[in-house]
């Protein structure tokens, strides 16, 4: 009998996605900054305490906009955890800046704030903390450096640190709506602007360096090229899909919470007996249940568990490889031993299927397979 595979992720509709997409077509505005883009930005602003939000074509592009807004250029340095997706670093490297790779804490897997002071130089122009798995970094210690902060909040929408929404601490933050995220539309992102002095120029950069947004608001009678920029505006079709996801966020989050907490409860004893560590969420952090991971004792055990689950039709995956040890990272000065916690965690981390459409029966299969390992 053929076993139905359980994927790592399975994007599913949550509400009015198709209805809104059809309505966007009927409205006759499929390019960017239409009705649904404005509605998404308004709702996200409300969720994030009033911050200015601009939808972008990806979280990567939102990070590129942040680098432009900070005036990053050749000779500058920025601090970024080695344990993150390549976009966090690449967006600033594109402007000619050099990454200074930071190690992570062994508990939350976030940027280790205790090591920040040793990484700061007169050339440091930005710090890019990443809220791994949606668990907040220690933002007070990061902000007290006085260096501009851009939060990579791709995992952290709906999470908070000391009762304040993640993404609202730095001068800017970025969001992802890739299909693996809690709310999605395939591919898109957002730039969250907490410093109001950056908002006007952000509009221009996002619109290919033109003042087109002011023209559409009736503030000027024509628009023209006024600055550098690129095409960072997503289609209103994507925003239509995303709005339906955002409106269904409470139901989505409730499902993710149940799945995450069931894993934690039913795997706790097995993990303790095998020397496996489950996710760490400090009491002052509210997580959005973005992903559920395990830290195995060794690379060999991690790989054996992946193979074991694959044999039972279950897709479990590792995560980031250390940026400082990548081919590009080494060209930029990274060396083995620079970030020992990152190097260890990268070899041992495994993520389990964790998405709203994971059925109780499917999750039971995953847990049963885990307990049999």
Verify that 79 and 50 share a domain, yes or no.
yes
Residue 102 within any structural domain of the chain: yes
Which residues are known to be catalytic?
A: 181
Verify that 90 and 149 share a domain, yes or no.
yes
Residue 127 within any structural domain of the chain: yes
Residue 61 within any structural domain of the chain: yes
Verify that 131 and 279 share a domain, yes or no.
no
* 247, 263, 288 - which closes a domain: 247
Verify that 95 and 165 share a domain, yes or no.
yes
Verify that 45 and 75 share a domain, yes or no.
yes
Distance CA 322, CA 81 (A): 9
Q: In the prediction, which pLDDT does 3 show?
A: 82
Q: Which residues of the chain have pLDDT under 50?
A: none
Angle between helices 236-247 and 35-47 (to 10 degrees): 40
Distance CA 286, CA 185 (A): 24
Distance CA 157, CA 162 (A): 15
Q: In the prediction, which pLDDT does 16 show?
A: 98
Q: In the prediction, which pLDDT does 2 show?
A: 76
**Strand, coil or helix: what is 156?**
coil
Verify that 241 and 262 share a domain, yes or no.
no
Residue 57 within any structural domain of the chain: yes
Q: In the prediction, which pLDDT does 214 show?
A: 86
Verify that 261 and 239 share a domain, yes or no.
no
Q: In the prediction, which pLDDT does 335 show?
A: 97
**Residue 340 is part of which domain span?**
249-371
Q: Give the CATH number for residue 139.
A: 3.40.640.10
Q: In the prediction, which pLDDT does 222 show?
A: 87
Query: Up-side HSE of residue 274: CA atoms within 13 Å toward CB?
Result: 20
Residue in the block written with tokens 């090591």: 115
* 247, 270, 293 - which closes a domain: 247
Q: What angle do CA 194, 195, 199 make, to 5 degrees?
A: 95
Verify that 255 and 243 share a domain, yes or no.
no
Residue 3 within any structural domain of the chain: no
Verify that 221 and 119 share a domain, yes or no.
yes
Taking only the tens place, the pLDDT of each residue in 298-336 is: 999 999 999 999 999 999 999 999 999 999 999 999 999
Verify that 303 and 224 share a domain, yes or no.
no
* 232, 247, 262 - which closes a domain: 247
DSSP 155: T
Q: In the prediction, which pLDDT does 1 show?
A: 62
β-partners of residue 174 are: 152, 191
Verify that 205 and 78 share a domain, yes or no.
yes
Q: Give the CATH number for residue 308.
A: 3.90.1150.10
Distance CA 250, CA 257 (A): 10
Verify that 226 and 356 share a domain, yes or no.
no
Retrieve residue 329's tokens.
């990272």
Pair 161, 139: CB distance under 8 Å: yes
Residue 9 within any structural domain of the chain: no
**Strand, coil or helix: what is 292?**
strand
Angle between helices 86-93 and 59-69 (to 10 degrees): 40
Pair 240, 24: CB distance under 8 Å: yes
Angle between helices 340-348 and 299-311 (to 10 degrees): 20
Distance CA 55, CA 100 (A): 28
Residue 2 within any structural domain of the chain: no
**Strand, coil or helix: what is 278?**
coil
Number of folded domains in the chain?
2
Residue 6 within any structural domain of the chain: no
Contacts 24+ apart (CB under 8 A), 304-312: 304/373, 305/350, 305/370, 305/373, 306/350, 308/369, 308/372, 308/373, 309/366, 309/369, 309/370, 309/373, 312/3, 312/365, 312/369
Distance CA 128, CA 110 (A): 11
Retrieve residue 69's tokens.
């807004």
Q: What are the Cα distances from residue 102, in Å, to 37, 119, 121?
A: 35, 8, 13
Rounded to a whole number of angstroms, the CA Rg of the chain reads 21
Pair 302, 347: CB distance under 8 Å: yes
């Amino acid at each position: 009998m053929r076993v139905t595979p359980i994927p790592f992720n399975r994007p599913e509709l949550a509400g009015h996605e198709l209805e809104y997409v059809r309505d966007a077509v009927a409205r006759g505005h499929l390019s960017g900054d239409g009705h649904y883009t404005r509605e998404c930005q308004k709702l996200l602003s409300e969720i994030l305490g009033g911050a200015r939000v601009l939808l972008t074509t990806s979280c990567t592009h939102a990070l590129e906009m942040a680098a432009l807004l900070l005036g990053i250029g050749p000779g500058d340095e920025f601090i970024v955890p080695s344990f993150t997706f390549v976009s966090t670093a690449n967006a600033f490297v594109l402007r000619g800046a050099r990454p200074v790779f930071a190690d992570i804490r062994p508990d939350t897997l976030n940027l280790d704030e205790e090591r920040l002071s040793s990484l700061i130089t007169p050339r440091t122009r930005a710090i890019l903390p990443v809220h791994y798995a949606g668990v907040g970094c220690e933002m007070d210690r990061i902000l007290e450096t006085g260096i501009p902060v851009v939060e990579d909040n791709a995992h952290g929408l709906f999470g908070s640190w000391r009762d304040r929404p993640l993404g609202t601490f730095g001068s800017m933050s970025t969001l992802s709506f890739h299909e693996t995220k809690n709310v999605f539309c395939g591919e898109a992102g957002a730039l969250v602007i907490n410093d109001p002095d950056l908002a006007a120029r952000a509009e221009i950069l996002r619109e290919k360096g033109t003042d087109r947004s002011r023209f559409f608001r009736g503030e000027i009678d024509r628009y023209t090229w006024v600055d550098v920029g690129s095409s960072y505006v997503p289609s209103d079709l994507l925003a239509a899909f995303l709005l339906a996801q955002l409106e269904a966020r409470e139901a989505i989050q409730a499902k993710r919470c149940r799945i995450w907490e069931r894993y934690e409860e039913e795997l706790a004893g097995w993990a303790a007996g095998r020397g496996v560590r489950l996710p760490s969420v400090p009491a002052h952090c509210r997580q959005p249940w973005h992903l559920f991971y395990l830290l195995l004792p060794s690379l060999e055990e991690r790989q054996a568990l992946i193979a074991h689950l694959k044999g039972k039709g279950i897709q479990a995956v590792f995560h980031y490889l250390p940026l400082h040890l990548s081919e590009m990272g080494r060209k930029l000065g990274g060396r083995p031993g620079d970030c020992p916690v990152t190097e260890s965690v990268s070899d041992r981390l495994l993520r389990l299927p964790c998405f709203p459409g994971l059925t109780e029966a499917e999750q039971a299969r995953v847990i049963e397979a885990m307990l049999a390992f």
